[in-house]
Structures are given as C-alpha cells and as structure tokens.
Amino acid sequence: MKRIGNAIVAGVIATIMAAGLVGCGSSTVSTTSSSESSESSSASSTAAVSSSAASESASSSSNAALSGNSEEVAAVSSSSSGVPVVAGTDDTSILQEDYTAKSNYKIGFALQTMDVDVFNTMSQGMEDEAKKIGVDYTCMVANNDVATQVSNIENMIAQGYNAIIIHTFDKEAFATVANEAIDKGIVVCAYDDNIIDPATGEPCKYPLTFLCNNYDIGYRVGTMAAEWTKKQFPDETGDLEFGLLWHHEYEFQQERVKGIRAAIAEKDPRIKIVDEQEGLVTEDGVKACEAWTQSYPDLKGVVATNDTALLGFAQAWQSAGKDVHDETFGMFGNDGVNDAIDMVADDTIMRGDVGLDVYDGGAMALLACTKELDGVPTESVLMPMVNCTVDNVQEDWISNPTLYVKK
C-alpha cells in the first residue's frame, strides 16, 4: 500500500479539482447512449460529458446490520421511533441478471449538475447499463437551474422518452412537469428526494424512486466512530471530545446528523460533540482544524457528513506539524472520495468512511425503469453503500474498479 502521509496536501487539492468544483458552464450538457447508436436529445445547446471517478453509496433500513445488503423496507415515512424508513432495495446482485429490454426504449436522466464527480460516475453507471440491456440513454444537465431542469424534462416529453429519472433538487418545482409526464404514460423515477405536489402536499403518483437513507448514512458514521473509541480508549471514564462538520442548509445533511448523534448515544455515550462547524468544502475543514486545535486541545476526533471537509481538516492538521498517523485521533465521514479512501487504507487519522456506490445505484435505477416499462415486477432503488475501514477497504472498495476509479 502506498504511503500518502506527506503527499496529502497535494492529494486534497487534486481531489477537490477532480470533484468538479469548477462549473460546467451555462449550456445544457447532454450525453447519449444506445445499444446501436447515440442520438442527441436536447433542444438546448449540448456538450459531451465524460464520466470520471469517485463514489458514493447508501443504504437500507436505519439501525439495520451495518454489513452486507439489507432487505427491502416499507415506505418513505417515519417509524414509530421517528427513524426514517425509505423504500427500496440496495441489492446490487440484480445487476448480474442476463436481462434484455423488450424494446429499444428512450430513458433520460434530468440531472442537477455535473459539478460533483459522483454524478458523473452515477450517469456512467446508467449509460453502461443501457448499453448492456439494449435501451437508449441520455443525461441532460440543468447546471443548478430550476427553469433549465423543467425545460430539459419538457424536451424529453416532447421527444417521446419512455422513462425519465428526475433529480429532485427542489421538492415542489418539478411537480407540474412530472405530472405532465405521468399523464402521458411516461415512467417517472424520482432521484434524491420525492417530488411533492404543492396542491396536495403529497408525492406525485410516480412508480419508482432512487433514494439514499441519509439517517442510516449518519448512523453508520457514528457507529464507526463509537467502535473506534471503544477500542482505542477502553479505560477512559470521562468525556471523549469530538467535533462535528456539516452543512446546516441541506435537509439531507440534517438527517445524517440525526443518525450520527443516535449511533453515538447508543454505542458510546462517552463521545461528546463539543462544537459544530460549517462543513461543506475543503476550506471549512481547514478553518475547523485551526480553531479546534486551539480551543479543544484534548479533541479525540471529528465526525462529518461528507469527505471533502475532512480532507481539508487533514490538510490543516499536517500544515500544523501534526502526525497524520496519530493513533489517538480519528475522523469519520462519508462519500468514498478517492483521497479519503486512500487515507483509510493507509491507516491514517481518517479511520472510517461510508462509501456510496453511485455507479451501481445508477445502473439499478435505469434497470428498474426498463423493467417497469416491460411490465416486469420491480422495486425502487436504495443507494448501496459500503462501510470502509483499514480492515476491509482494500477488498471491499479499492479492488472494485467501479468504486475506486484510478485517475
């Protein structure tokens, strides 16, 4: 295993550049795939998108076993304990089927942005599955603009698409156009969140979803942190101070924080979150490290709702002359970003990462749409995820070329 200790600063910068924090411009981006040929599907200006790496994965029912795939759960709701329950399957073995579509359907993905590397990987998973099962695939990108997203979906409807996977980055803004597609018999799959009809306050009547259980992602992060503290500090009777990095504006991150707190309280209540800081981009992690090393000299670790902020924390940690292999400090996050995975594999202060398998998740969503069109029984998709620690990261993540993509 290569050592990354002194190379981490350069690695972090490379990760952030690879993660696509530079925008893709103002024109709509469209990629097409077919078993026979590719066709352009956007009425607006288009440009080819190439897939790149990094990974993400998600889960099944909250508080379920943290290894392997879980069984299907009931519905998008809350259980009696208040724990979110998200419908679907994360069983990637369905992709091993020898399945061929009954017709050369046109399936589109209306995506928010390609500014995040995992979306490139997700779209690539859809494109590859489309070629495998014999359907046409197009991805149209809205570049974070609601009006462009609506226009892209309208274009897909006008061009006779059979199924549309809609990235719901605004819960209510896409209800009218989604209902238009549904009324025309188009299969709609909501990705990332439900599409809410403002007239009813309920989800639109689409048959499929492709979702993460964000509470469970957080619960896994908190569990790995607690497992590490119990092993590392078995005789400590006082508080174990931790910091928390997360982006308060995003509802899905709020769910991840709830999961983190629940797991910590249940599995090692000695962990005390002494401070919370903004944690979305690299600079946030840098600022948090600089502040906490002064204010909390006994800090034992950090939990976060992504990898990027933790990579910034590690960058500042090394800049301050601290040992990236310090056995008494631990960081725990999620996404499966290559540099974070490298740190886990090298037994650094990055002790655990919940990797989100967006490649297989995207492939599963496209397959589900195709089966729905074929009239074959199918189910909604939960993003698959993998808990990565130094003990399993090589076998369960790095050795898989769709999870760990070398650049």
335: tokens are 């996404």
- Greatest distance between any 2 Cα atoms in the chain: 66
Banded pLDDT at 8 (limits 50, 70, 90): very low
- CA angle at residue 286 from 280 to 292, to 5 degrees? 105
DSSP assignments along 90-151, one per residue: --GGGGGS----SS--EEEEEES-SSSHHHHHHHHHHHHHHHHHT-EEEEEE-TT-HHHHHH
86: tokens are 């998200």
Torsion of CA 340, 281, 216, 264, to 10 degrees: 80
Q: Is the dihedral of CA 61, 62, 65, 68 positive or negative?
A: positive
- CA angle at residue 289 from 288 to 291, to 5 degrees? 65
Quick check: 1 pLDDT over 50? no
Residue 37 CA to residue 221 CA, distance in Å, equals: 43
pTM: predicted TM-score of the whole model, two decimal places: 0.75
Residue 227 CA to residue 7 CA, distance in Å, equals: 28
For residue range 300-359, what is the model confidence (pLDDT) as tens digits? 999 999 999 999 999 999 999 999 999 999 999 999 989 999 999 999 999 999 999 999
Q: Residue 298, CB half-sphere, CA atoms under 13 Å: how many? A: 9
Residue 353 CA to residue 223 CA, distance in Å, equals: 11
Banded pLDDT at 299 (limits 50, 70, 90): very high
DSSP-H helix ranges across 134-213: 146-158, 175-183
For residue range 110-152, what is the model confidence (pLDDT) as tens digits? 999 887 677 888 999 999 999 999 999 999 999 989 999 999 9
- CA proximity to 383, closest of 35, 25, 41, 70: 70
Q: Is the Cβ–Cβ distance between 89 and 59 less than 8 Å?
A: no
Query: Can you tell me the mean pLDDT for 270-290?
Result: 96
Query: Can you tell me the mean pLDDT for 164-187?
Result: 96
284: tokens are 């946030």
φ, ψ at 342 (rounded to 5°): -60, -40
Q: Is the Cβ–Cβ distance between 245 and 283 less than 8 Å?
A: no
Q: Please state whether 140 falls in left (phi above 0), alpha (psi between -120 and 50) or beta.
A: beta
Q: Is the dihedral of CA 317, 17, 256, 144 positive or negative?
A: positive
377: tokens are 């029984």
Residue 58 CA to residue 384 CA, distance in Å, equals: 4
